[in-house]
Amino acid sequence: MTERIFERLFQTPDPATAGRKGLGLGLFICKELVTRQGGQIWVRSVPGEGAVFSVTLPVFSLPHLIAPAFERERHTEVPITLMVTEIGSQTGWLSEDVRAEQSQGVRDILQRCMHSDLDIVLPKMGPAGATELFFILAITGEIGGEAIAMRIQERMDGNEHLQKAGLTTSTSFRSVETIKRSASESMKDFVEKAAMQIQELMDEEILSRMVKNG
């Protein structure tokens, strides 16, 4: 039920709550409010022990973060590639502090892989279960995305610290559908439109990992 309770009008078929039935809108509205702000909401539940609801909200504005890169491009059609680097621990994370420290080390490597001011390493977006996800937005097409992905993976594979820490890494990329800017569209509206498409792709990546990793 934990995957369905955020659906519109969904209600759990529990006889114990039949006397105080609602409309099935409360959690749906919660999810809408959170996701519209670029956040996530999820729940973990153990039968007989209750449930824990968690919410994340971004401490930054994605449109504001990506605007400088878009403003440097003067074309009406901007190619965008979303890079996704995933790290995991072969032996399990020793602690949250160790996980955070090793994740920061990976972020530093990614920053050094960027050769252009049109490539942006984005802040952490949300939980991905047993793995950590890092997103890079590159103002480039598929060929450029492939080159960046190869560069990142070569750096990761050759890093002795990551090998000694027992971390596994993989990097993939997805081309964002070409975003066109109309003649009458302001740069602000154009960037917000692009940010919405990018956010949707990142949400898909995060959700797929959460489902995959349980």
pLDDT value at 204 more than 80: yes
Identify whether the C-beta of residue 104 lies closer than 8 Å to the C-beta of residue 196: no
Sorted by where each starts, the structural domains of the chain and their CATH numbers stand as 15-56 (no CATH), 62-212 (3.30.70.1320)
Give me the pLDDT at residue 74, please: 64
pLDDT value at 66 more than 80: yes
Q: What is the pTM of this model?
A: 0.68
Give me the pLDDT at residue 149, please: 92
Task: Kindly report, residue by residue over 97-125, the tens digit of the pLDDT.
Answer: 888 888 888 999 999 888 788 889 988 76
User: Closest Cα partner for 85 from 27, 133, 146, 16?
Assistant: 133
